[in-house]
Structure 1
Amino acid sequence: MLRQRSIRSVLFLTYSVIIALILLISLLLFYLWSSDTLHEQAADTISGTSLSVRDKLDLEVQKMDTVSQNILYSNLVKERFLVYTGKADDTDAEDAAGRIRNAKELADILVAANGPAFPVQQVNLYDFEGNLFASGFDNRRMQLELSAKSWYADVMSGEYGKVLTTPELDEQMRSVVTTRKDAYSISLLRVFTDKYNTPEGIVEVKKTADELFKSVVSSQGDGIIVYNDEGELIYPTGTGHEAELAYVQQFLQHPGEGKTMNSVTGDRELYAITHSDYTGWNSAIILSEKSLMAPLRTFTKAFMVLAIAVLLLAVALTYMAAQRITKPIARMHKLIKSTDLEKITTMGPIEPTSGLNELDRLQLAFGKMGERLKYSMEELMTAQHQEMQAKMLALQSQINPHFLYNTLATISVMAEEQMNDEIVGMIDNLSDLLRYISSDDGSDVDLDTELAHTEKFLRCIGFRYGSRLTYSIDIDPALRTIQVPKLIIQPLVENAVKYGTKVAPPWHIAVRVYSEGALWFAEVQDNGPGFRTEGRERIQQAIEEMNRTGKAPSLSVDGMGLLNVYIRLKMLYNNHRMTFRISDAPSGGAVVTIGGVQSRAEEV
């Protein structure tokens, strides 16, 4: 069975779902659009950041390289260093004082080559015999094993270009630079030659890794990895950077831009890598999607809270709107459900109350329909009343010829028997009866009047039968004024006389009128042979046929009295609390009982 739902619930649920879907789809589209926009902007940002880091590192390394080239192309440096190493003769440096003065001049030249900004923190000059001349934080002069240096093979590879080392733990710098951390430095090395372009030694300019990357880290923050093409980590420096080394292995396989997975946190991350031809380093910028999307997620949560609030408000407004729409409909439904014949006839116009054009028009149309129905019912009731009156008069008029036929037959018999005086009295009573039955002052009379004319009829019959026929009329005084149909009891008495006299006299007709509660009853009993079975069945079949079809049977003049009374009672009381019984009395004879409500107001 199809589940019935109210218009209010349908409207409420439909609009609530529509609003929820609109908010959800809007949020989803906004999230997707914002996410794509953020990813695009983030990709552009980290790509630009990677270029910026590369350029800044190139600039820092270029400053170091400028210092090294200033030294390489300085003839004074070459001369003083060769004098220092004893490969060149200088009369001024033959004694100890001269050598000291030469070393001082070389140190001054190296300081001047470094410049006032000190782009490098240490300058070291090596000859191939292992003599070291240092200038900067460490100004020692010593002898060392040059070939033991990690960078020696690269520097002497034959190309004689610059060599940039990876950050190394620098014992020289740590011994002179006070720091709580291990001192890692990056060196830029070149081979310097004499004026005949013959290699004479190596120039090393050195800078701590912290100092080199300080400007880059301070401006760009975390998420920076710098490595060379061999996969060696340049930045961050020191130990404990296994995660960064794992990144480097991924980046070697997937250079450029893309997405990767952090093996430690499990977060997806964006990266952009820029290669520097100048340094040979790769600058990788990493951005976590979690941190990238954090503001969007925060905004989304705030939007969801706002959306829920908007949804609740919209649901409340939808409920109010649905109630506003359905309340007039419910009112009309209630009115229709409770409408009956009485309320239709008293129904007034319905004033519109919804404020909605269509519903107001519907209410007005319903009100007008009620008024038209009211008028139609009034006209129908009037027509039905007139029709009933017409039928009652028609049925009543059927009694007249029947009564006249029986009366004239009686007078004819009395004339044959020379009962002239009785005939005169009978004609006087007949005159009164004809005046009564032919009057058009309505079909209802008080019960007292009906019984009075019934008694006149019995007197007329008495002229024929004399003392052989007696009668009695017993009436409750309280019932004398109630209204009953005209000629409703007389046909019963006439029927009793007709069939009760079929046995030997004396004959007696008893009329008794009594009440039970709001009902009145009229009982006519004779002492004749009673109802024959076939006669009672014929009357009962006629009544059942009329109740089934709603059509009155054709009534002949002979034997029409009982059915005529039944039809008029049925029309008058509409079969509601109406009584019509035929039976045999225990002591013999037939009994016919009719009845109805005392007041028409009690009939409904």
Structure 2
Amino acid sequence: MSKSRMSTKLAALYIVFTTLLVVVGIMAFYRYGYSNAYSQGVSNISQIVETVMKQIDSRLQTMDAVTVEVLTEGTFMTMWRKEMKDEESIYSHEIRQILMKAYMNRSDIRRVAVYTLHGEYFSTGKTTVTKEDVLKRIKMIQGKYMMNKMSSRAFVSLHYDHWDTTSDTQVFSLIKPIKDREGNTLGYIEVQQNALYIREICNVKWNDYLLDVVVFMSNGEDVFYATFDEDEREKINRLKAATKQYSKVRHLRNQVVFTSSSNYYEGRAVIALEEAILMEAFNRAMKLMILIALGLMLLTILFCILAVKSVIKPIHLLVQHMEHIDMNHLNKDLNIKMKDYETAILVGAFQKMSDRIQEYILTQKKMESVQTKTLFNALQSEMGPHFLYNSLGSIANMCEEGETEMAADACYSLTEILRYVSSYEMSEVTIGEEMEKLRSYMAIMKSRYRHRLEFELHVDEEAKDIIIPKLTYQPIVENAIKYSLMENENVIVKVFTVLLGERLYIEVKDNGCGITKEAGEKIQERINEFFSNEDVSEIVTKIQFGGLGLSGTLIRLSIFYGESFQYELQEKNDVGGTSIILSMNIKEFR
């Protein structure tokens, strides 16, 4: 029954964990993928709208080049002025030859026409218009377009060919005034291209959807071309207003609007795309991925249930035998028939663990004696009347001087230290916790000695989670401050904690009087005496733990880390003081 409950719990835990992992993974992928797909889509559409505008510019430049070629032909303006004066056309053949020459080598040009203000005209291709028709067109041009500038031109959106009323072909046109040197208008030149060219340019798709494309000309006010009917004036006006102030990409309701301005004319191309269409391919991929993830999750859940049942059976058998073993019978043989590899591994590991526990119990007895003495002296000595009176006196001085914020910080630090050293529940802490309490201690000492004390604490980020005996740093730092103040007006204490591979290095450096060779030998003698004497309690009473003492700290570290612990006392460091360097293997203490 117990085995069933355990397997059920493990299976349920695995299912919950797997589900949570899949959900979190899908959400993370969705957020990252959506942002990435959106950025990529926006980038691609931006390139498309720029390409559209460049191709339209190319078409318009071709038409513009035709007008320039005609108007700059050496004899054209001379003949045109005479045509304006004479009632009969005497240069009609020559003018048509000029038009044909400009038209001849450009297969995409449908028509080139020139006409006077009186309605006389010359055109390539078939024409069916009368003089009255031309005069009406001139009136329309003068009323709709501003032609009072030397560089003025008008781009006419798609319309049926005005010059051939029998044709149902749609064209788009460029109209420019023909002017003399004084800027007087002498007529107009008109160049046409077939509408199919601009349709090919603007009929672009995204994920098989035809994009809404609008091209605005004449300072961005007139619709030159749109892929949807001009009856949808509301949509056109909305896009016109939204893109009046240039921005390559902007959001409009549920749409993303892309804009590209002409490099040569007063115009812009606009593409509008629904956000849902922009992200449709990504959304389809997400749905497929979710279905695949659900399928894989069902398979893993089924495998988990079967695997858990298989693993629990030998574990349950081992637990039944372990129930009859206590701390007084750790070496008792386990009568387990090892029918499978997993059970053999577990039994062997348990037997090794029993042997290690026996060794640990002996070591722990020594550790508890030293640790209890250490913690007791931490309260009695470090937190004794002398330390408290000085700390509280410093806080009182800060209050009298109006430094209430510093006084409050000192009180908080003192509270943290009192709580830390008076807690007997934990004898082992992380380096990160030790450093926090050391900072609180140094803050109190700083408030006490102010400018006389400077300190520097450095700890590798990856070393902060390593386990270390409680109150390892503070006794050494306390000694450094104490003996340095005897010799120097200004005291500098530096603490470095560095992790190199599997080995941890701690260095406490001061600028005090240094340590004599005799003092170092005496410390080593105490440590040796502790480990060589079987009566631990007798040795503990002889160790000088006043201020927690260096000897007591080194003994605790030797017991805690075993043979891997080493220390070095530098009599004179580079600043004339003492350096204490501790090193230990922390492979089992991460």
Q: TM-score, normalised by structure 1?
A: 0.48
Larger radius of gyration: 1
